[in-house]
Amino acid sequence: MNRYPRDMHGYGPIPPKANWPGGAHVAVQFVLNYEEGGENNILHGDGASEAFLVDVLGAAPWPGQRHANVESMYEYGARAGFWRLHRLFTEAELPVTVYGVATALMRAPAQLAAMQEAGWEIASHGYKWIQHKDMTPEVEREQIAEAIRLHTVATGERPRGWYTGRSSLNTVDLVSEVGGFAYISDTYDDDLPYWRVHQGKPHLIIPYSLSTNDMRFVTGPGFDNGEEYFQFLKDSFDCLYAEGEAGSPKMMSLGLHCRLVGQPGRYQGLKKFVDYIKGFDKVWIPTRLAIAEHWAAEHPYVAPEVIPSQLDKADFVTRYGSIFEHSPWIAERAWEAEMGPANDTAIGLHFALRSQFRMASEEERLAVLRAHPDLAGKLAAAKRLTAESTAEQASVGLDALTDGERQKFTMLNTAYVDKFGFPFIIAVRDNTKASILEAFETRLTNSTEEEFAAACAQVERIALLRLKAILP
Q: Are strands 201-205 and 250-257 parallel, antiparallel or unpaired?
A: unpaired
Catalytic residue among 86, 151, 350, 372: 372
Reduce the secondary structure of 310-369 to three states and give it as a string.
Answer: HCCHHHHHHHHCCCCCCCHHHHHHHHHCEECHHHCCHHHHHHHHHHHHHHCCHHHHHHHH
CA distances from 101 to 34, 113, 131 (A): 6, 15, 13
Which of 39, 88, 120 is closest to 288 using CA atoms? 120
What is the C-alpha radius of gyration for the chain, rounded to an integer number of angstroms? 30
- Buried (b) or exposed (e) across 213-240, using 16+ Cβ within 10 A? bbbbbbeeeebeebeebbebbeebbeeb
Which of 136, 133, 158, 137 is closest to 147 using CA atoms? 158
DSSP code for 17: P
Residues 252 and 232: beta-carbon distance below 8 Å = no
Q: Distance of alpha carbon 358 from its chain centroid, rounded?
A: 29
- 372 annotated active-site: yes
Which of 190, 55, 39, 201 is closest to 125 using CA atoms? 39
Q: Are strands 283-284 and 26-34 parallel, antiparallel or unpaired?
A: parallel
Alpha-carbon dihedral sign for residues 95, 99, 105, 107? negative
- Buried (b) or exposed (e) across 376-386, using 16+ Cβ within 10 A? bbebbeeeebb
Q: Which residues are catalytic?
A: 372
